[in-house]
Amino acid sequence: MTGTEKFVLKNVCGQRYIGTRLYSKNGNKPRVDIDITGTPREATSEPSCPATAVRVHGNVQDGVGNTMDDGEIVVEGRAGDVLGMSMRGGKIFIRDNTGYRTALHMKEYLDKKPVLVIGGTSQDFLGEYMAGGIVILLDWATSPTTRPSSEQECTVE
């Protein structure tokens, strides 16, 4: 791979490991854009290259962005469970809701700060064991199932 590479994948239905560990024979990290139509499955889209961009026109299943180190993922739909697990860099944008254990073990690493933006709501255990990074939940206040109880403290930076 040299320069910018663009891959268009259509009718994706459960395929795994799309966009993982992209490199060239000479060790360079090329710019890679992956455009997906359909529903990719777990362990999908773990960009390790700073210039990798993955756009999914649809929903994604569990495990997307697992151990993500850099790059960007944009999902024009909802995400399953364990989104961004152990993510330590890059950005993920989800238009709709996410499942359980989103941002599990998410952490900052060296000068990298992972960012996860959720347009809808998230199920239980959002940010469980999180040790750094930014999670923004845009529809949090409108969902009675995700509001903190009166005994919980909630702060926003």
The pLDDT of residue 157? 47
**Number of other residues whose CB lies within 10 A of the CB of residue 14:** 11
Q: What's this model's pTM, rounded to 2 decimal places? A: 0.81
The pLDDT of residue 67? 84
**Long-range Cβ pairs for the range 45-49 (8 Å, 24+):** 45/18, 45/19, 45/20, 45/73, 46/17, 46/19, 46/20, 46/21, 47/19, 47/22, 47/71, 47/72, 47/73, 47/90, 48/20, 48/21, 48/22, 49/22, 49/23
* Rg of the Cα atoms in the chain: 16
- Residue 115's nearest CA partner among 107, 123, 125 is 107
The pLDDT of residue 41? 75
From first to last of its 157 residues, the chain has per-residue pLDDT tens of: 456 688 899 998 877 778 776 666 666 666 788 899 988 876 555 555 666 888 999 999 888 888 888 889 999 999 999 999 999 899 999 999 999 999 999 999 889 999 999 999 999 999 999 999 999 999 855 555 555 444 444 444 4
